[in-house]
Amino acid sequence: MAPDASDPRRADRKIPFELKPGSLEDLAPDYYALGSLLFALMAVLLKIEMYSWMTLLFVLASFANTVQSNMDTRAMSASVALVVLVFMATHIKTGSQPLIFPQLANWLRGG
């Protein structure tokens, strides 16, 4: 675009954009990790298998949204261990009732 006399912008006042590096405090909280913990807790307490699958999905989403420079090996291994424990607790049948609110678990199953 060629400058003309009716252009109100001032070419001498242009300032180029500079990207400032962000800090770790500026990152949004990981809501997927919180969701995976909540679904894991509900899966273990209510013994509903769908919640264990939701835990797996939320853990995978949390891994997918993790910034490469902010990866924490300890937290990742704890999340994988959580998924394994939740699947073991919900999919291995021992004939036991849920720990809390067995009537609620039966109602959620549709029975």
Q: So what's the pLDDT on residue 3?
A: 60
What residues contact 87, with CB distance under 8 A and at least 6 apart? 52, 56
Rama region for 47: left / alpha / beta (φ>0; ψ in -120 to 50; rest): left
The pLDDT tens digits of the residues spanning 40-59 come to 999 999 989 999 999 999 99
Burial of 28 (0-12, 13-18, 19+ CB in 10 A): exposed
Dist. CA 24–CA 10, nearest whole Å: 37
Which pTM was predicted? 0.65
Q: Where are the domains of the chain?
A: 29-109
Check residues 6 and 2 and name the one with the higher pLDDT.
6
